[in-house]
Structure 1
Amino acid sequence: MALWRIRATVDDRPGYLSVLTASLALRGVNILTVQVHTTEAGAVDDFLVDAPDALDEADLVAAIARGRGRDCWVARSEARGLVDQPTRVLGLATRLVHDPDATGAALQALLGADEVSWRPDPAGPAGGVGGQTMRLADPVGGSYVLGRREPSFTPAEYARAQALVELSAAVARRDADRVTLVLPDGTEVVVRPATAEDLPAVVELHERCSPRSRQRRYLGGAGSPSPARLRRLLDPARGLTLLATAGSGGATEPVVAMANLLGEGDEAEAALLVRDDWQRRGLGSALLRRLLGHADRAGTAAVLLHVQAENEPMLRTVRRLGRRVPIERDGPLLSVTVPLAARPGLPRQADAITRTD
């Protein structure tokens, strides 16, 4: 027995696929996997089959024709073709998470392309599928151009490839947000977006903070939030969570601060937690500025901070922004509004301080 890949177009009508599979079965061909690609010309069925050694390419093409298939393409396959498509795509996605520069190789593996190139010009309105050529928009700029002699690309393959490119771009943007800050005392910290894998380190951060620091952050009890709540903070539906790590920022480096930006319409809410032995070193100010920068780029009109009136360190951090900020008081709680994007009646204020302290 030998493995073959067969792709053929079948009229999208009841019973037509069964006629094709019956024609293959009469020749002793066992269908191992099948994928269906919907196109304007009909349903394109992609089979991985196990056929008797006596059958050659011409025999398989003839069997497809007798089964009412058309535009047939047949090629020998390898054992790796037995891996189902979802598993293969997930494997490629995992590779891109660890190495976004491997986008071209991942696209080639996904589609069996003969060539993949990147061009600086955008895909434009001509982007998409055109027979043996596929053009994909790169979200960070430019486009990928793929070529394959046969079979022709399908819209379903285009959708899969574009999703893979967008995943790679998202990972690249995440890595671009990773920066090394030099604090006023010369200490270096790495600031990066949080991920779900950071939960143990963030739990440890809370355990190493004093009850007073935790109470100032969460405006309630002095205990640590539940792991479920911390998990939601690490991956907010709208917003951003930044972590500051000592040393090189590796997975084993301790997290010394967490900054949260939670979006709510035109406004977002910001909050900081800095480990006690890292306070009064300019880290909170640097993190708050990065949150405000992210909110500004996202088009947020204002960022709101809820601060206890006795929390002088946080109020001092806000004053260091050099902006005029409205403050409302409700008993022991202050609501500080930091305006960002210009809107009627609220002119945008420029930063008066550019240092990171």
Structure 2
Amino acid sequence: MTLWRIRATVDDRPGYLSVLTASLALRGVNILTVQVQPTEQGAVDDFLVDAPDTLDEAELVAAVERGRGRDCWVARSEARGLADQPTRVLGLADRLVRDPDGTGEALRALLAADVVSWRPASVGAERGISGASMLLADPVGGSFALRRAAPDFTPAEYARAQALVQLAATVARRAAEQVTLVLPDGAEVAVRPASAHDLSGVVELHEACSARSRQRRYLSGAALPQPARLRRLLEPARGLTLIATSTGPDGTAESVVAMANLLAEGDEAEVALLVRDDWQRRGLGSALLRRLAQHAERAGYAALLLHVQAINDPMLRTLRRLGRPSTAERDGGLLTVTVPIAVAALADRPGTSLAPGG
């Protein structure tokens, strides 16, 4: 006996599945598992079967067609195919919990995809399935593009794959939820992704910062940002916001001492920092910028963008400490700094070099 996978579409009407299974049974085919996936074209039946060695692919296709099946796809399977779909998905979820960076390989295993690649978000890209191609939204930005020779993807497969990607993003976020940074002067701060619950602490951070620090962060004035704007910064639609907190020497309640934003648009991500005045020049800004750059690298962004006042020497020094090549374009008193991230980085742009020693 030989294991085969068979996929076929039948009309979603009472009795049609039994006609198909009866046609297979007449040829000695034993159905081990079956999944029914509703689509607009009918019910897609996915079988794992044990067939006599004398039956070949063409004969199995003929049996399906005699059983009122259409759009038939047949391929040999292996013993591992005996694991049912929920078991396989749970196994892949367990792998992602241990290694969230393995999303691409998990998708390949889940869907038997030939090609899995990550691409930045673009205005014209429409997530979903088109035949044997699939485009999945990545919660951290961009999309996973999948393709296989056959069979066509189904809505149920799309939903499973999207849930797997969402799980990987959640695990990756929680893996980075909180770390303790030890600054060069020995001070310790806790760094974690922000949430809407941090709004009051971030408002206090802005109130504790000098007008000059706020103006350097927002470039448009020193006034306190409205709570609605801060709430959007804490939970960006695409990207990541980190906050750093510290507790007093006597164990008093923690306070937010810095906020670092990475706001993604297309394949680039804009970065901005706000550090409370008494925590500046202590290495905290550099540490936060490095973590944002690492996140951007994992997420596949091509570059970081920073808008910096030309006279903001502390921020320019922080950029140099990042240790990555960068270029800058000047518009009056404002510099737009580009820091390439991905392997296929953006082409060099004309401007002033900010590389270390530049």
Provide TM-score, normalisation by structure 2: 0.56
**Match of 2:58?**
58
Tell me, what secondary structure is at the counterpart of 2:129?
Answer: strand
Match for 1:133: what amino acid? Answer: S
Match for 2:6: what amino acid? Answer: I
Q: Does 1:31 align with 2:35?
A: no
| CA deviations over 1:252-275 (Å, ceiling 9, x no partner) | xxxxxxxxx979xx989xxxxxxx
**Match of 2:68?**
68
| C-alpha distance 123-164 of structure 1, shift in aligned 2 (>3 A) | farther
Tell me, what secondary structure is at the counterpart of 1:121?
Answer: coil
Tell me, what secondary structure is at the counterpart of 1:7?
Answer: strand
**Match of 2:131?**
131
The whole-number CA distance in structure 1 between the counterparts of 2:137 and 2:54 is: 45
Q: Does 1:173 align with 2:110?
A: no
**Match of 1:203?**
none
Match for 1:135: what amino acid? Answer: L
| CA deviations over 1:124-182 (Å, ceiling 9, x no partner) | 65110000110111111111111111000111101111111111111222233343322
Match for 1:128: what amino acid? Answer: G
| CA deviations over 1:322-352 (Å, ceiling 9, x no partner) | 9xxxxxxxxxxxxxxxxxxxxxxxxxxx956
**182-191 or 53-62: which moved more?**
182-191
The whole-number CA distance in structure 2 between the counterparts of 1:296 and 1:126 is: 26
Report runs of 4+ in structure 1 exceeding 4 Å deviation. 122-125, 187-193, 293-296, 312-318, 350-353
Q: Does 1:297 align with 2:234?
A: yes
| CA deviations over 1:66-106 (Å, ceiling 9, x no partner) | 11111101111100100111111111111111111111111
Match for 2:7: what amino acid? Answer: R
If you compute each CA radius of gyration, which structure gives the higher value, 1 or 2? 1
Match for 1:141: what amino acid? Answer: G
| C-alpha distance 267-31 of structure 1, shift in aligned 2 (>3 A) | farther
8 Å contact from structure 1 (residues 4, 50) kept in 2: yes
Q: Does 1:145 align with 2:108?
A: no
**Match of 2:111?**
111
| CA deviations over 1:168-212 (Å, ceiling 9, x no partner) | 11122223334332269727687669xxxxxxxxxxxxxxxxxxx
The whole-number CA distance in structure 2 between the counterparts of 1:354 and 1:297 is: 20
8 Å contact from structure 1 (residues 23, 67) kept in 2: yes
The whole-number CA distance in structure 1 between the counterparts of 2:67 and 2:251 is: 74
| C-alpha distance 317-134 of structure 1, shift in aligned 2 (>3 A) | closer
The whole-number CA distance in structure 2 between the counterparts of 1:95 and 1:112 is: 17
The whole-number CA distance in structure 2 between the counterparts of 1:317 and 1:129 is: 47
**Match of 1:160?**
160
Q: Which consecutive residues of structure 1, in runs of 5 or more, have no partner in the other structure?
A: 194-238, 241-260, 269-292, 300-311, 323-349
Tell me, what secondary structure is at the counterpart of 1:164?
Answer: helix
Match for 1:32: what amino acid? Answer: L
Match for 1:34: what amino acid? Answer: V
**Match of 1:354?**
279
The whole-number CA distance in structure 1 between the counterparts of 2:24 and 2:123 is: 40
The whole-number CA distance in structure 1 between the counterparts of 2:54 and 2:253 is: 83
Provide TM-score, normalisation by structure 1: 0.56
The whole-number CA distance in structure 2 between the counterparts of 1:94 and 1:267 is: 36
The whole-number CA distance in structure 1 between the counterparts of 2:231 and 2:180 is: 17
| C-alpha distance 317-40 of structure 1, shift in aligned 2 (>3 A) | closer
| C-alpha distance 4-321 of structure 1, shift in aligned 2 (>3 A) | closer
The whole-number CA distance in structure 1 between the counterparts of 2:254 and 2:75 is: 66
Q: Does 1:49 align with 2:45?
A: no
The whole-number CA distance in structure 2 between the counterparts of 1:77 and 1:352 is: 64
The whole-number CA distance in structure 2 between the counterparts of 1:51 and 1:140 is: 44
Within a 5 Å distance, the mapping from 1:155-304 to structure 2 comes to: 155-182=155-182, 186=186, 297-298=234-235
Match for 1:94: what amino acid? Answer: D
**Match of 1:95?**
95
The whole-number CA distance in structure 2 between the counterparts of 1:84 and 1:315 is: 53
The whole-number CA distance in structure 2 between the counterparts of 1:92 and 1:294 is: 34
The whole-number CA distance in structure 2 between the counterparts of 1:123 and 1:50 is: 46
Match for 2:116: what amino acid? Answer: V
Q: Does 1:21 align with 2:21?
A: yes
The whole-number CA distance in structure 2 between the counterparts of 1:170 and 1:57 is: 42
| CA deviations over 1:9-65 (Å, ceiling 9, x no partner) | 010000000111011111110000011111100000000000011111111111111
8 Å contact from structure 1 (residues 112, 148) kept in 2: yes
| CA deviations over 1:212-271 (Å, ceiling 9, x no partner) | xxxxxxxxxxxxxxxxxxxxxxxxxxx98xxxxxxxxxxxxxxxxxxxx979xx989xxx
Q: Which consecutive residues of structure 2, in runs of 5 or more, have no partner in the other structure?
A: 202-229, 237-248, 259-274, 285-358
Match for 2:171: what amino acid? Answer: V
| C-alpha distance 128-314 of structure 1, shift in aligned 2 (>3 A) | same
Match for 2:279: what amino acid? Answer: T
The whole-number CA distance in structure 2 between the counterparts of 1:118 and 1:168 is: 14
Match for 2:46: what amino acid? Answer: D
The whole-number CA distance in structure 2 between the counterparts of 1:185 and 1:75 is: 63
Aligned residues: 228
